[in-house]
A and B are shown apart, each in its own frame.
Chain A
Amino acid sequence: MSTELTRIIELFQLPFMQRALLGGILTGLMGGMLGSFTILRQLSFFSDALGHSALLGISIGLLIGINPSVVLLPFAVCFALGVTYLLERTRLWTDALLNIIYSSSLAIAIITLSFVGQYKGGLNNLLFGDILAVRELDLIFSAVLLLVCIVFIGLTLRTQMLLTLHEPLAIARGVSVFLHRTAFIVLLSLVVGISIKAIGVLLVSAFVVIPACAARLLSRTFTNYVVLSAGLGALSAVIGMVVSAAFNLPSGPSIVATQLTIFLTAMALPRLRVLGQG
Chain B
Amino acid sequence: MKEVVLAVEQLTVYRETYAAVQDVSFELEAGTDTAIVGPNGAGKSTLVQAILGILPRQAGDVFILGQPLSRRGFLTPAIRQQIAYLPQNFLFDRRIPITVEELVGLGWDKLGFQVPWANRRKRRYAIREALARVDAAHLSHQLISGLSGGETKRVLLAYCLVHPRRLLLLDEAPAGLDVRGESEFYQLLYQLKREQGWAILQISHDLDMVRRNCDRVLCLNRTLLCQGIPEVALSPDNLSAAYGSEFVRYRHQH
Contact = CB atoms under 8 A, between A and B. Distances in A.
Interface in B101-127: 102-103, 105-106, 109, 111, 113-116
Interface stretch (B84-92, B173-181, B199-207, B216-224): B84-92
B111 A222 contact: no
A223 B102 contact: yes
B53 A155 contact: no
B164 interface: no
Contact of B99 (A164, A172, A220): A220
A223 B97 CA distance: 9
Contacts of A156: 113
B116 A154 contact: yes
Given A169-B85, A172-B85, A223-B102, A158 B97 contact: no
A238 to B, nearest CB: 25
A222 B99 contact: yes
Chain A, interface residues (CB within 8 Å), range: 20 to 34
A219 B95 CA distance: 12
Nearest to A165: B92
Contact of B49 (A159, A162, A168, A170): A168
B229 interface: no
SS class, residues of chain A in contact with chain B: helix
Interface string B50-78: 00111000000000000000000111010
B96 interface: yes
A157 B118 CA distance: 12
B96 to A, nearest CB: 5
A159 B237 CA distance: 47
Interface of B: 49, 52-54, 73-75, 77, 80, 83, 85, 87, 90-93, 95-99, 102-103, 105-106, 109, 111, 113-116, 141, 143, 169
Given A172-B52, A221-B97, A222-B99, 16 more contacts: A40-B95, A155-B114, A161-B98, A162-B111, A165-B106, A166-B87, A168-B85, A170-B111, A171-B54, A172-B85, A172-B169, A173-B80, A216-B97, A222-B97, A222-B102, A225-B97
